[in-house]
């Protein structure tokens, strides 16, 4: 097996590095300190085509492909993990779900403005008490009343909901039909009956927020139905498959950030006149971090490679998400061991890596859920790729920028 970056991959990586250096790092602390949503940074990322990597040019996409999207999300998250959320809300689970399942009018209305970050997106599936079974525990309902659906219920852990303009939201149109009674809707948050309340998570800061969402007699035109009634569960599973690519990439970025910070610190910090990087225990921690992160990266890139080919990749996405979450949480813990007491100081980013690695351990399906999916697939009980659908659109860059 062989892997190498193409010149295009290298150009994309250098562009992201330069963007982070010039546009993000000088400003990000201001947004964090003042608890401000970094809308203008997102718009700059959108204008550079970061969020539109997997979208056709006719809808404003940059057609860079899934591998380049993984490279971008990794590099951004390596330096500023709080910005990594945007690759789900502005690239995958919100606009890409609309691209995959929406009609021409829906795609034209919402996709271009989302991938440019002119509008902020969200993906509302999980409910309080739902945990890893959001569909089975779903209580939010959508009742057709003439030419409108009336939605009532609530959602939990919905990223960007307090800032979002548009979202993909799931509700039961037939409460007696189980998973087959779930439908998907495109909602606009400026309509009466929608309310978002940020959840207090001090460990992740207050720049980008996860929220509770409340729907009270919230009315939308029936043409806001995404796909058909009863297709919601299939749509959600398909959306999470793509979301896992960016989550895995973000986790790899966090792990690489831990490596970079640990190597720098281990070469500078001295004990008894000797750099701590000369001690075997520190070397063992760094060696494990380096090898495991590279393995997680290759699993993630293979997922992107399959997606660039238009092939089913749910199985590979589960592998990547599961392993990358384990690697990132271990790397963050190892970095904390290397930094010792200094690791908890705001001067260093280690606790930020720890907190975001822990958070992403659960996002887009917890490690244990991935284990179940992987085991059921391996045992022949449930084909992991069963929810795959053919993409509506192919990209001119679908020429496979990686050899695996």
The angle at the Cα of 76, spanning 71 to 81, to the nearest 5 degrees, equals 125
Among candidate residues 59, 115, 68, the one with its CA nearest the CA of residue 88:
115
- Reading phi first (left if > 0) and then psi (alpha if -120 to 50, else beta), residue 43 is in alpha
- Name the nearest CA neighbour of 213 among 185, 240, 176, 177: 185
How many whole angstroms separate alpha carbon 97 and alpha carbon 236? 8
Give the catalytic positions in this structure.
364
- Please provide the size of the chain in residues: 404
| Phi, psi (rounded to 5 degrees) for 123 | -135, 110
Q: Assess contact for 56 and 392: CB atoms under 8 A.
A: no
Q: Which residues, including other chains, have CB under 8 Å from residue 153's CB and lie 6 or more apart?
A: 127, 138, 139, 140, 141, 171, 215
CB 282 within 8 A of CB 338: yes
How far is residue 6's CA from residue 294's CA, in Å, rounded to a whole number? Answer: 18
Q: Ramachandran region of residue 65, left (φ > 0), alpha (ψ -120 to 50) or beta?
A: left
Q: Which positions ≥6 away from 39 have C-beta within 8 Å?
A: 117, 120, 163
Beta-bridge mates of residue 124: 169
In this structure, are residues 250 and 74 in contact, taking their beta carbons and an 8 Å threshold?
yes
CA pair distance 314, 306, nearest whole angstrom:
10
Give the C-alpha separation, 84 to 95, whole Å. 16
């Amino acid at each position: 097996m062989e892997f190498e970056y193409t010149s295009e991959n290298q150009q994309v990586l250098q562009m992201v590095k330069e963007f982070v250096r010039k546009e993000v790092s000088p400003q990000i602390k201001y947004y964090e300190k003042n608890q401000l949503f970094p809308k203008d940074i997102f718009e700059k990322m959108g204008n550079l085509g970061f969020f539109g990597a997997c979208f056709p040019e006719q809808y404003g996409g940059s057609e860079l492909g899934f591998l380049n999207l993984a490279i971008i999300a990794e590099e951004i998250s390596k330096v500023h993990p709080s910005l990594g959320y945007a690759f789900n809300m502005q690239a995958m689970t919100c606009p890409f779900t609309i691209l995959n399942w929406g009609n021409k009018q829906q795609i034209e209305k919402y996709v271009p403005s989302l991938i440019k970050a002119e509008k902020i997106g969200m993906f509302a599936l999980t409910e309080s008490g739902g945990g890893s079974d959001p569909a089975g525990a779903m209580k939010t309902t959508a009742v057709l009343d003439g030419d409108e659906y009336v939605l009532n219920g609530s959602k939990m852990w919905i990223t960007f909901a307090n800032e979002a303009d548009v979202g993909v939201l799931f509700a039961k149109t037939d409460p007696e039909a189980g998973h087959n009674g779930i439908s998907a809707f495109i909602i606009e948050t400026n309509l009466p009956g929608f309310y978002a309340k940020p959840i207090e998570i001090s460990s992740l800061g207050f720049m980008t927020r996860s929220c509770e969402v409340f729907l009270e007699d919230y009315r939308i035109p029936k043409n806001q139905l995404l796909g058909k009634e009863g297709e919601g569960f299939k749509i959600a599973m398909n959306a999470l498959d793509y979301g896992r690519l960016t989550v895995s990439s973000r986790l790899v970025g966090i792990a690489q950030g831990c490596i970079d910070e640990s190597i720098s610190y281990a070469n500078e910090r001295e004990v008894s006149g000797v750099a701590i990087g000369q001690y075997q225990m520190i070397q063992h921690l760094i060696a494990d971090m380096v090898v495991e992160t590279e393995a997680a990266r290759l699993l993630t890139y293979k997922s992107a490679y399959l997606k660039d080919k238009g092939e089913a990749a749910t199985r590979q996405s589960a592998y990547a998400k599961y392993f990358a979450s384990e690697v990132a949480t271990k790397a963050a813990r190892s970095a904390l061991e290397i930094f010792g007491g200094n690791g908890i100081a705001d001067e260093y980013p280690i606790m930020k890596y720890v907190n975001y690695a822990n958070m992403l351990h659960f996002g887009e399906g917890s490690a244990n859920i991935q284990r179940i999916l992987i085991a059921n697939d391996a045992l022949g009980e449930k084909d992991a790729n069963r929810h795959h659908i053919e993409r509506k659109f192919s990209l001119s860059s679908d020429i496979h920028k990686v050899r695996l």
